[in-house]
Amino acid sequence: MARIAIAGGGIIGLACALRLAGDGHAVTLIDPDPDGDKCSWGNAGGIANTEVVPASMPGMVWRVPGWLFDPLGPVALRWQHAPALLPWLLGWLQAGRAGQVERIAAALAGLLGRVDADLAPLLAQIGCIDDWHRLGALAVYRSAAGLRADRAGWALRQCHGIAFDEISGAEARAMEPALDSGIAAGVFMPGWSHVSDPKLIWAALLAAVRAAGVAVVRSRATDIARKGRVRLASGREIACDAVVVAAGAWSAALARSAGDRVLLESERGYNVTLPDAQVHLSREVIFAERSFVATPLSIGLRIGGAAEFAGLSAPPNYARSRALGRLARDYLPGVNLAGGREWMGNRPATPDSLPVIGPSPRRADVVYAFGHGHLGLTLAATTAQLVGDRLSGQPPKLDLAPFSAGRFG
């Protein structure tokens, strides 16, 4: 039995804690607000195991200026943050080269191919298996030109065995009658799924972790420079045999204290949840040309997908959430925006769209589990299995080299 400290109480940290406690380790979970708001709460609820396409693709750089100057665009940048963003942005540009895209997609396909097999037992263990809805997802397009612009991404999915069906606009509306009559085409992905409410999954995980005997410490881990010691913001130090860094967008500073440089940014995500949307969707719908989604949750219709680069400390700009509501009206003409609950969270994004999973290149006692971007909920169970195998001395189920922190130099 080892003493293992986990920095971060989001869905990745909780899933790792449950797996490691189940293996018989003495686990301490460290989080500044264990019961408070997490990035895990506000995602769109999708189990996106088809998403092998990285965020940076060949030619995409030429679309960025249009996004940035579009008030309803999918990406926003607070210009005072631009100098700090530059190293990450250069890495994003490099990741969009053709050879890099194939390497990244292959690595993502290996991870995502494990999702259903890893997620099912975890959801069953925490009593949430009935909150997993395996109904696929529908991407819709206003024009045939919009679908053509995404051909490279769909071809990449096809190369990695992702099943999908191109359908007409009329067929898309037959699947989801709430859609506007202007939809010209759709792509149905049967392997996609969604959950009733991401916060519900997180809360059930936290309850299971506490029931498993994990010690929960209310503080922020600030330093892991000394082997066998985690220093907290309170000044206290926790002794351990190994540290799992799962602090989401705050993980880069902890990795730096361990001697590792990683490129990690907060890709701030916004959404609005409509408690009385007055339109019905049966599955997650992706509005591909505008890069946002709508998901039917048990708490209402969630409209999400906006991204903003502004660092970790800038105040939220909830105009981004309201913009998503206005966009939703273009595609779901009967939608009722009244009473919408706005939200912002810090998604931990790497420039190459690959999470950082596995041992530190410099420290045998440090294991990383962060940088999942839009795939935190999707990959939580799989990441927990990979981290658990590493710390429990079991043979690895997947080559972790593509996810090493060492790739950043």
CATH number reported for the structural domain that contains residue 317 in this entry = 3.50.50.60
Above 70 in pLDDT, residue 393? yes
Q: What is the pLDDT of residue 164?
A: 98
Tell whether the model's pLDDT for residue 379 goes beyond 90: yes
- Compute the Cα dihedral for 83, 313, 308, 403 and give only its sign: positive
Q: Identify the pLDDT of residue 60.
A: 72
Q: How far apart are CA 72 and CA 69, in angstroms?
A: 9
Q: What is the pLDDT of residue 107?
A: 98
Phi, psi angles (nearest 5°) of residue 92: -65, -40
Average pLDDT over residues 134-155: 96
pLDDT at 67 > cutoff 70:
no
Burial class (CB in 10 A: 0-12, 13-18, 19+), 119: buried
Average pLDDT over residues 326-339: 95
| Residues 143, 404: Cα–Cα separation, whole Å | 40
3-state secondary structure of 308: strand
Instruction: Please state the length of the chain.
Output: 409
Least confident among 56-60, 206-210, 340-344 = 56-60
Q: Which of 298, 107, 126 is nearest to 202 (CA)?
A: 126
What's the token pair of residue 280? 């019905």
Number of domains in the chain: 1
User: At residue 145, what is the residue type?
Assistant: A
Is the pLDDT assigned to residue 354 strictly greater than 90?
A: yes
Determine the average pLDDT of the residues in 56-76.
72
Q: Is the dihedral of CA 181, 189, 303, 204 positive or negative?
A: positive
Residue 71 has a pLDDT of: 61
Task: Judge whether 273 and 302 are in contact, CB under 8 Å.
Answer: yes
Q: Which token pair is 22?
A: 């189940």
Determine the pLDDT at residue 126: 98
Average confidence (pLDDT) over 56-72: 71
Q: What is the pLDDT of residue 210?
A: 98
Which residues form the domain of 186?
3-408
By mean pLDDT, which of 67-71, 291-295, 324-328, 368-372 is the weakest? 67-71
pLDDT score, position 409: 82
Between CA 73 and CA 57 the distance in angstroms is 18
Mean pLDDT of 220-244: 95
Residue 102 has pLDDT above 90, yes or no: yes
The average pLDDT across 171-190 equals 98
Tell me the average pLDDT across 185-193: 98
Task: Inform me whether the pLDDT recorded for 109 exceeds 80.
Answer: yes
- Judge whether residue 68 has pLDDT over 70: no
Q: In whole numbers, what is the pLDDT of the chain averaged over residues?
A: 95
Confidence of residue 249 (pLDDT cuts 50, 70, 90): very high
pLDDT band at 193 (very low <50, low <70, confident <90, very high): very high
Identify whether the C-beta of residue 92 lies closer than 8 Å to the C-beta of residue 55.
yes
Q: What is the mean pLDDT of residues 83-100?
A: 92
Lowest mean pLDDT among 16-25, 315-324, 351-360: 315-324
Beta bridge partners of 359: 367
Per-residue confidence (pLDDT) for residue 293, from 0 to 100: 97
What is the spatial distance between Cα 353 and Cα 92, in angstroms, rounded to a whole number?
9
Q: Which pLDDT score is estimated for 59?
A: 77
Alpha helices in 238-312 (DSSP H): 251-257
Give the DSSP H or E segment for 156.
helix 151-159
Tell me the pTM: 0.96
Read off the pLDDT band of 75 (50, 70, 90). confident
Distance in angstroms (rounded) separating the CA atoms of residues 269 and 117: 28
Residue ranges of E strands in 128-214: 132-133, 137-141, 165-168, 185-189, 193-195
* Per-residue pLDDT, 382: 98
pLDDT of 72 over the 70 cut: no
Q: What is the pLDDT of residue 327?
A: 92
Residue 154 corresponds to which tokens in the numbers above?
Answer: 């769909």
